[in-house]
Every structure is written in structure tokens, then in C-alpha cells.
Amino acid sequence: MYWESAKNSPERSHRIQTRPGETPQAITLNDMERRLAITLARAWIKYDDTINYPDTINGLPPLVNNAEAIGAELAYCRLNNIYPNLNLNGFETHDCILADGTKVNVKFSRYTNPNYHLIVQIKKYDTYPDIYALMVGKWPTYRYIGHVPKHEVIRPERINRDLPVPAYAYPRKYLQT
């Protein structure tokens, strides 16, 4: 029977056993989550083409960039037991909504160095989410680093013009966990 074979399947190895109140160290997307991330990444690329949105600023193919970022969003949603925002009708300020109504924009980085920053594009949206959450890692495994309220990030003194595109930069060491 399917359920018996699934119980012993290697696909179940992505689950991390934690005690109440403990944050998992790593979240690895399962096969269906990977497929969903790739499907959404392809849809975003088509949408970006219709509005002439730049493909990338880091030199990697758009499919890689989008799939990794969406993968981080899915990992964050699984960590919080919430459903991701799957809307493809234009830019939204948030990637998901927590149970208390808090709108979250999940940021992703491949770089695990704690001296780096959470980066938020300047005026990407008319409004901003309630909080930013940072996930780091490489496809398909991610770690939750922490979060910060928007009012701590969206400040003139946080603007960094040394980046490829000027953006707000918030030190990772100050993220709340």
C-alpha cells in the first residue's frame, strides 16, 4: 500500500525532529516542494518578461535565482506551518502571512557569513511588509537566520550605495530569532 511504502521512503528524511520551541537548523525541500518552486520560478520569469523586469544582478540564470528564492520562501512557510503566497498578478509586498496577520517578505542569501547583511531593495513596492525574514543556504536546503520589523530596516541611515543596486542593508547579527 502507498502509505506503508511512503512511511519508509527516503523522501521523509527532510523532516527535522525538534522539541517544542526549538528552531530547526536546516530545512530541505522535498520533491514536490522542489517541483512547485521550479514551476513558480518559470511562471515568474514569464511575468518578468512581460514587464521588462531585469533578469538578474548577480550573473546567475533567472531560473536558478527564482527557484532558489522561491525555495527559501517555501522552506520558511513550512517552518511556520503556513501557506505561501502563490499570486502571480504583479509584485506583492509579502511572500506569506503568519497566523496573527503579520505580512512577511522572505529574503534569501547563499552566503552564510554572519557579518553580511539582510538586503532590501529601495522602493521596490509602494508599501512594505510588516517583517523581513532571512533564509540562507543552497538549493534545496535552507536555514532560518532571523527576522526584523520593517521600521528597523527602512531607514535612510541603512541605505548602502556600494551594492550593485542601492538598497537597505541590515546587519544579520541584529536579526531576531
Residue-wise pLDDT for 3-15, tens only, equals: 333 334 333 333 3
For residues 135 and 8, give the distance between their C-alpha atoms in angstroms, rounded to a whole number: 29
Instruction: Give domain status of residue 17, yes or no.
Output: no
Identify the domain containing residue 51 by its residue range: 26-174
Percent of the chain at pLDDT > 90 equals 58
Chain-centre distance of CA 148, in angstroms?
Answer: 14
Q: How many CA atoms does the CB half-sphere of 69 hold within 13 Å?
A: 17
For residues 47 and 33, give the distance between their C-alpha atoms in angstroms, rounded to a whole number: 21
With beta carbons less than 8 A apart as the criterion, state whether 13 and 58 touch.
no
Instruction: Give domain status of residue 8, yes or no.
Output: no
Helix (H) / strand (E) containing 77: helix 62-80
Q: What pLDDT, on a 0 to 100 scale, did the predictor assign at position 7?
A: 39
Higher pLDDT, 43 or 24: 43
Percent of the chain at pLDDT > 70 equals 77
Segment 133-148 mean pLDDT: 96
Instruction: Give domain status of residue 75, yes or no.
Output: yes
How many domains, in total, are found in the chain? 1
